[in-house]
Amino acid sequence: MVERGPVLRFDPMRTLGIWLARKPWRWQSASLGARADRLRRQRSFAAAIPLYQQYLATRTDHATAWMLFGHCLKENRQLAEAGQAYAEAVRLDPRNPDALEAQADFLKASGRHNEAQATLLAADKLGGGA
């Protein structure tokens, strides 16, 4: 007779509890991010800005959210803050061609053509559609 080790049973409630305990902010931040994205798509940029700020307070590492936050700030004419948001997106994920292209577009609109060109070249090397 073959001796077997203990039988491991999957307990979904225990797994869910562990998962939620590790990241208690997950549900709240996901809701904030979704609401901010919806407002941005509706072109309600001023209304989306505080939601992105709340979201990014808990998810400081989300590069795409920083980029989208930058879009809202730019459309709301908060250009210095938009530049900082784009720079943070690129700092967090320097291999994200979308973030690089967004930063390059912002730099070009700001009259910083040499920096914009270098950023577009970096995005192009990563497969961006620049």
pLDDT, tens digit (0-9, with 9 covering 90-100), for 13-52: 777 666 666 555 566 778 889 999 999 999 999 999 999 9
Tens digits of per-residue pLDDT, 41-63?
Answer: 999 999 999 999 999 998 899 99
| Euclidean distance between CA atoms 41 and 86, whole angstroms | 18
Any residues with CB less than 8 A from the CB of 4 and at least 6 apart, and which? Answer: none
Give the chain's mean pLDDT.
85
* Residue among 27, 65, 69 nearest 48 (CA): 69
* Residues 86, 102 contacting (CB under 8 angstroms): yes
Tell whether the model's pLDDT for residue 129 goes beyond 60. no
What pLDDT was estimated at residue 86?
Answer: 93
What is the mean predicted confidence (pLDDT) over 56-83?
94
